[in-house]
Amino acid sequence: MLPRPRSIPALALLASALISSASAQLTTKCNPMEKTCPPDPGFGTAHTFYFNSTPPEDVFTSEANGIKFNEKDGAVFTISDRGHSATLASNFYFFFGRTEVLMKAARGQGIISSIVWGSDTLDEVDWEFKGGNETWVFSNYFGKGNTNVTGTGGDHPVSGSIYDLHNYTSVWTKDKLEWHLDGQLIRTLHAKDANNTFNFPQTPMTLRLGSWVGGDTETQAPGTVEWAGGPTDYSQGPFHMYVQSAHVEDYSSGKEYTYTDKLGSWQSIKVTEGNSTAAEIVNKPPEKSLSEKWAELPEGTKIGIYAAAGSVGGILFIALAIYYFKQRRQGQKEAALAARMHEEERVELERFKREGRNPDDLKFDGTEYAGAAGKGGMMSSI
């Protein structure tokens, strides 16, 4: 976090508070500091998600605009018009832990790319990227939704550009928060320095990756537009944010996390042990190939399959042999019949020759053979 002069005027402090407030991004469906809420489904493991294809079902939810996944770019978050935003949110929570995200921020004045941790009590940890400021990245945090404070944000130079691929890592324990850029520690927040731990993020978090328009003059407050870097010109779009992968490590090993009171402190979280649904999904072994399945079969089973295959093969061979012999017998009969007809035709031709007649000169004389129908074996056709 960059140092601030002690003699900042009151008006500057107010402006800083408004800007910090503008960058808070969370809402909650059920705040455990206000009422009893269902347990949070835990992660309880460590896994790297590669976004060259759609993530496993029931692990992440795509919110707002659709997100595309491809081999070249990973997850592609696109904003092309007013009202657009794109977010990929985990369906699981981690309770202290670490995330490591490889991403490229979106271009465009007023376009905000972000990596956000968020809890049900509105604890929040952020990486934020302003599309019109390509050489700086911003870190931030909030505790219990309290945005009326100063000094929560930090500004950090980036080597190259935020539009290039960089590694953004956050490490979180009950005692401190760390932000690492491309493997280098750039900021540390100790719990005791966040309003004597009260504003220190300390409750189970989800991971949210996404982009939104902070520079929309029709939908955002003036303070938000100013914080985002100025008004957005949609004619310069579409604006694309890319996430190649996200490693998530839960330092707890629970199946679910339950708030036992309304204080919002880490000490009040009950960890229920067991395998979480998300952990079972991501750790499920890949489908085995046929050769792998065959190799795992017991030797006796293989012998049985060979024997069965041999029996089936034998039956097929016998059936083919019977068919062959039947066809051969039929062929012999047809050949004998053809030979007999040929011989009869030869004998008849020999008879015509002996009688001095040419078979080709015979003409139809108006009578036809009628067998036993007519006397003398002939019947008139008239």
Q: Quick check: 284 pLDDT over 50?
A: yes
124 is catalytic: yes
In this predicted model, what pLDDT tens digit does every residue of 237-274 receive, in sequence order? 999 999 999 999 999 998 999 999 999 999 999 999 98
Q: Quick check: 31 pLDDT over 90?
A: yes
Neighbours of 314 (CB within 10 A): 10
% residues pLDDT > 90 (the chain):
60
Neighbours of 213 (CB within 10 A): 28
Which whole-number Å values give the CA distances from 178 to 35, 111, 188, in the listed order?
Answer: 31, 25, 5
Pair of tokens at residue 173: 């324990």
Mean pLDDT of 158-162: 96
Contacts 24+ apart (CB under 8 A), 276-280: 276/41, 276/42, 276/43, 276/44, 276/45, 276/92, 277/41, 277/58, 277/92, 278/41, 278/42, 278/43, 278/44, 278/45, 278/58, 278/59, 278/90, 278/91, 278/92, 279/42, 279/43, 279/44, 279/45
Query: Comparing 93-102, 233-242, 271-280, which segment has the lowest mean pLDDT?
Result: 271-280
Q: What residue ranges in the chain does DSSP mark as E strands? A: 40-41, 46-50, 60-64, 68-70, 74-79, 86-90, 97-104, 111-119, 124-130, 136-142, 154-157, 166-172, 176-181, 184-190, 205-213, 239-250, 254-259, 269-273, 367-369, 378-380
Q: Between 364 and 294, where is the model more confident?
A: 294
pLDDT given at position 19: 41
What sign has the CA pseudo-torsion 233, 112, 129, 90? Answer: negative
344 is catalytic: no
Instruction: Report the distance separating Cα 122 and Cα 114, nearest Å.
Output: 16
pLDDT given at position 286: 60
Which of 124, 178, 218, 292 is catalytic? The answer is 124
Confidence of residue 123 (pLDDT cuts 50, 70, 90): very high
Mean pLDDT of 124-137: 97
Q: Quick check: 111 pLDDT over 90?
A: yes
DSSP 35-79: S--PPEEB--SEEEEETTSPPPTTTEEEEES--EEETTTEEEEEE
Q: Is the overall model pTM greater than 0.85, yes or no? A: no
Mean pLDDT taken over the chain: 83
Instruction: Report the distance separating Cα 275 and Cα 279, nearest Å.
Output: 6
Mean pLDDT of 156-179: 98
SS3 of the chain: helix, strand, coil, percent, to 5: 25, 30, 40
Highest mean pLDDT among 12-16, 110-114, 274-278: 110-114
**Using an 8 Å Cβ cutoff, are 228 and 130 in contact?**
yes
Which of 128, 287, 299, 343 is catalytic? The answer is 128
DSSP 152-175: --EEEE-SS-TTS-EEEEEEE-SS
First to last CA, the chain: 123
Confidence of residue 377 (pLDDT cuts 50, 70, 90): very low
Mean pLDDT of 347-367: 62
In this predicted model, what pLDDT tens digit does every residue of 171-212 receive, in sequence order? 999 999 999 999 999 999 999 999 999 999 999 999 999 999
Q: Quick check: 29 pLDDT over 70?
A: yes
Instruction: Report the distance separating Cα 98 and Cα 103, nearest Å.
Output: 16
Mean pLDDT of 130-138: 97
pLDDT given at position 66: 76
Confidence of residue 319 (pLDDT cuts 50, 70, 90): confident
pLDDT given at position 8: 30
Q: Between 50 and 367, where is the model more confident?
A: 50
